[in-house]
Amino acid sequence: METKINEKHNFLSGGGEMGTLMRAKDWSKTSLGAPKDWPQSLRTAISIILNSKFPMFLFWGPELICFYNDAYRPSLGKVGKHPDILGSAAKDYWQEIWDIIKPLIDQVLQEGIATWSEDQLIPIFRNGKIEDVYWTFSYSPVMDESGEPAGVFVTCVESTGKVIALQDLGESKNQLQFAIEAAELGTWDYNPASGKFTGNLRLRNWFGLPQEEEIDLSLAISVIVERDQKRVKEAIKEALRFESGGDLDIQYTIIHPQTKHQRDVRAKGKVLFGEDDIPYRFNGTLQDITEEKRYQQQLEAREQKFRLLADSLPDHVWTTNTKGKLNYFNQSLFDYSGLTNEQLLKEGWLQIVHPDDHKENIKRWQRALASGEDFLYEHRFKGYDGEYRWYLSRAIPQRDSEGYIQMWVGTSTDIQKIKELDIQKDQFLSMASHELRTPLTSIKGYIQMLQKEYSNGKDAFLKSALDVVDNQTSILANLTSELLELSKIQSGNLSLNKESFELNQLVIEIIDQMHHIDSGIDISFSKATESSILADRQRIGQVLTNFFTNAIKYSPNSNKVIVRSYREDNNVVIAVKDFGIGISKKDQRKIFERFYRVEGKNEKTFPGIGIGLSIAAEIIERHNGRIWVKSKLGEGSVFHFSLPIDN
């Protein structure tokens, strides 16, 4: 229950939370006894503390009993000494700093002279831990009725925030100075009112200026080459106008007055305006850009040579930035399209690409930008006469020394005549394949009849010859089928009959078929969880058959093939590993191109015309999948394809 206040105890009135706690405390159980028995000097000190809005603390008597007010209360933290420290001996609650404050208290009590400390670090225990706390404080004596010091009156302000801010400011200043030195910058400061100019040591050395603290701005400007002086003066004058925003960013050349060393620099600065929009300070930095400018000039010279060379070529030459935005065309493209540079840069090249080629064009270009791989595509360009011609476009990324793409350089070559011959070839292949199919079917049938007729005969040569003819006829039939597939792809008639099915099950079926054809092969399969895909089952089976056949065909010294399926993001991947002759890095980039065959002493021993993998690549691509190979010469190959999972 709170102590009842009467006239004798009115020194305990008010005081907020701490006044309430003091009135409620049973002081009779402390060494001080009941408040009615307290000396007047203590009562006066407590009354001052409770009625002050300034943080105050009091140590009283031989035990240094603790008192404090509401303003001091936050310094004790949310969790810690409060409220138990009230009315307790100081030594019991200030153990962590006793060696710091006890000598100060003794000095005040013994000498009766106040102390003063500013921004002193005195760590205290609060909020469950020892915290670094900075204080500005005074210890003053409180005299008792005999005129002797009986207590220590503490007025204090926690200055932790201020000290940390000053430390941060100092650190920031050090960091700024370090940055200036690391960047090798000159710094300058101009007083618009006095016309005086100062610079750091680096700037003064560049300009060959005297080492005085301040110089006239005109002396610094005199070092600038004559052709740039007027431009610099006008830029400074403009920056000093309030309406300009006060920014300065200008490049110019200086010549050292003694050494005659020429240096290209870039000055950047900011004007500070005071009342009535009057400039009172103008400072900034100076950067040596001599090497940068020399490199830029060399780059511009090389670019000019490139443009002259490009304009002399019959091919269309073009460049883009790292994001694929076109920024240059040579004269050949202007002559062919009849468009201006502005029209091509604004609308892009799709305006001359045949509408039927737009979708695939965009798809391949975006894939190249995302992967950093070369862009390669055959498409039709519209000429100024409205006619379309076939072009082969190729773009190669240009990289810096660290491998980062800086730009893309592309060429578009007229392949109209080649394309016309290609179309004629495709028409011939299509016709020949169709014409060959019927007689081959008949020949195959008659051979099988003869094999059956003479299966029990004694003529070993005849049976062997029929087997050879049957095998060669099968090879010719497969070749004819591939040519027909190629013809369908070329004419755009490769149809897909998509259905949902388990890819792993199809892999198992194709492996069984391969075992029936050749029981001596060893194909092992490790599969991931079942992955359903939406695809043409027959066509995907065709790709798998091609992978398995090639794995066996190009592994003359091994009959082992390892097949694996696994998930990668939202795709299922099939990997077919062989232990054959392998493929060089150069050939890996072209292995999926039509009619491409690896040339070498080993490769020439394997039959084929090089269209199986190109057909497989076309099938996978039309399923929005991806096909690739990893290989090393002499160490076998791993062919992969991935397809989207049908969720």
What's the rounded Cα separation, in Å, for the pair 630 and 583?
8
Question: Which position has the higher pLDDT, 440 or 629?
Answer: 629
Whether residue 468 sits in one domain with residue 370: no
How much is the pLDDT for 604? 44
Whether residue 156 sits in one domain with residue 11: yes
The number of folded domains in the chain is 5
What are the angstrom distances between the C-alpha of 468 and each of 80, 464, 550, 554, 607? 99, 6, 21, 21, 16
- Residue 600 above 60 pLDDT? no
CATH number of the domain where residue 194 is located? 3.30.450.20
DSSP states along 296-359: HHHHHHHHHHHHHHHHTSSSEEEEE-TT--EEEE-HHHHHHH---HHHHHHH-GGGTB-GGGHH
Confidence band of 216 (pLDDT split at 50, 70, 90): confident
How much is the pLDDT for 235? 92
Domain assignment present for residue 175? The answer is no
Whether residue 159 sits in one domain with residue 13: yes
DSSP states along 422-462: HHHHHHHHHHHHHHHHHHHHHHHHHHHHHHHHTTT-S-HHH
Q: Give me 314's structure tokens.
A: 């019959």
How much is the pLDDT for 285? 85
Task: Please state the rounded mean pLDDT for residues 1-11.
Answer: 54
User: What is the H or E stretch that residue 523 is in?
Assistant: strand 522-526
- What values do phi and psi take at 450, rounded to 5? -65, -40
Task: Please state the rounded mean pLDDT for residues 315-338.
Answer: 89
How much is the pLDDT for 75? 85
Domain end among 414, 434, 449: 414
Only one residue has tokens 């941060």, namely: 168
Residues 6 or more apart whose CB falls under 8 angstroms from that of 239 comprise 246, 247, 248, 269, 271, 282
- Residue 498 above 50 pLDDT? yes
- Residue 387 above 80 pLDDT? yes
How much is the pLDDT for 238? 93
How much is the pLDDT for 1? 43
Whether residue 632 sits in one domain with residue 515: yes
Domain span at residue 432?
419-491
Helix residue spans in 67-200 (DSSP H): 90-93, 98-111, 160-182
What are the pLDDT digits (tens) for 572-587? 999 999 999 888 887 8
Whether residue 577 sits in one domain with residue 461: no
How much is the pLDDT for 616? 86
How much is the pLDDT for 397? 93
Domain assignment present for residue 217? The answer is yes
Whether residue 159 sits in one domain with residue 21: yes
Residues 6 or more apart whose CB falls under 8 angstroms from that of 175 comprise none
Residue 583 identity: I
Decide: pTM greater than 0.75. no
Helix residue spans in 492-527 (DSSP H): 503-517
Whether residue 257 sits in one domain with residue 154: no
Residues 62 and 87: beta-carbon distance below 8 Å: no
Residues 265 and 286: beta-carbon distance below 8 Å: yes
Confidence band of 630 (pLDDT split at 50, 70, 90): very high
- Residue 594 above 70 pLDDT? no
What's the rounded Cα separation, in Å, for the pair 391 and 380?
6
- What values do phi and psi take at 250, rounded to 5? -150, 145
Confidence band of 179 (pLDDT split at 50, 70, 90): very low
To the nearest 10°, report the CA torsion of 610, 613, 616, 621. Answer: -110
How much is the pLDDT for 434? 53
Domain assignment present for residue 146? The answer is yes
How much is the pLDDT for 536? 87
Confidence band of 422 (pLDDT split at 50, 70, 90): low
What's the rounded Cα separation, in Å, for the pair 245 and 191?
17
What's the rounded Cα separation, in Å, for the pair 70 and 622?
79
The rounded percent of the chain whose pLDDT value lies above 70 is: 83
SS3 272: strand
Domain assignment present for residue 169? The answer is no
- Residue 516 above 50 pLDDT? yes
Confidence band of 171 (pLDDT split at 50, 70, 90): low
CB atoms within 10 A of CB 558: 15
- Residue 620 above 50 pLDDT? yes
How much is the pLDDT for 593? 77
What's the rounded Cα separation, in Å, for the pair 355 and 378?
13
Please provide the distance, in angstroms rounded to a whole number, between the alpha carbons at the two ends of the chain.
Answer: 73
What are the angstrom distances between the C-alpha of 617 and each of 400, 549, 624, 641, 642? 32, 15, 11, 9, 11
Residue 94 identity: W
Residues 361 and 350: beta-carbon distance below 8 Å: yes
Domain assignment present for residue 178? The answer is no
Domain assignment present for residue 503? The answer is yes
Q: Give me 627's structure tokens.
A: 């096909």
What's the mean pLDDT when you consider all of the chain? 82
Confidence band of 310 (pLDDT split at 50, 70, 90): low
What are the pLDDT digits (tens) for 60-100? 999 999 999 988 888 888 877 889 899 999 898 888 889 88
CB atoms within 10 A of CB 390: 20
Residues 186 and 283: beta-carbon distance below 8 Å: no
What angle is formed at CA 276 by the lines to CA 272 and CA 279, rounded to 5 degrees? Answer: 25
How much is the pLDDT for 486? 56
Question: Which position has the higher pLDDT, 469 or 251?
Answer: 251
CATH number of the domain where residue 630 is located? 3.30.565.10
Whether residue 256 sits in one domain with residue 388: no
Of 339, 344, 314, residue with least CA distance to 328: 344
How much is the pLDDT for 306? 65
Domain assignment present for residue 168? The answer is no
How much is the pLDDT for 601? 46
CATH number of the domain where residue 466 is located? 1.10.287
- Residue 496 above 70 pLDDT? yes
Domain assignment present for residue 28? The answer is yes
Task: Please state the rounded mean pLDDT for residues 334-339.
Answer: 90
Of 223, 244, 237, residue with least CA distance to 192: 237
Domain end among 449, 464, 491: 491
What's the rounded Cα separation, in Å, for the pair 184 and 47?
62
Whether residue 516 sits in one domain with residue 589: yes
Whether residue 530 sits in one domain with residue 423: no
The rounded percent of the chain whose pLDDT value lies above 90 is: 26
Only one residue has tokens 């007025």, namely: 155
What's the rounded Cα separation, in Å, for the pair 257 and 199?
17
CB atoms within 10 A of CB 241: 13
How much is the pLDDT for 239? 92
Domain end among 288, 307, 328: 288
What are the angstrom distances between the C-alpha of 52 and each of 20, 80, 247? 15, 23, 51
- Residue 476 above 70 pLDDT? no
What are the angstrom distances between the C-alpha of 198 and each of 79, 207, 209, 528? 53, 12, 10, 73
Whether residue 340 sits in one domain with residue 326: yes
Task: Please state the rounded mean pLDDT for residues 616-637.
Answer: 88
Whether residue 603 sits in one domain with residue 575: yes
How much is the pLDDT for 180? 45
CB atoms within 10 A of CB 484: 17
Pairing of strands 560-568, 522-526: parallel
What's the rounded Cα separation, in Å, for the pair 402 and 387?
44
How much is the pLDDT for 5? 47
Strand partners, 562: 524, 577
Confidence band of 490 (pLDDT split at 50, 70, 90): low
What's the rounded Cα separation, in Å, for the pair 288 and 265?
5
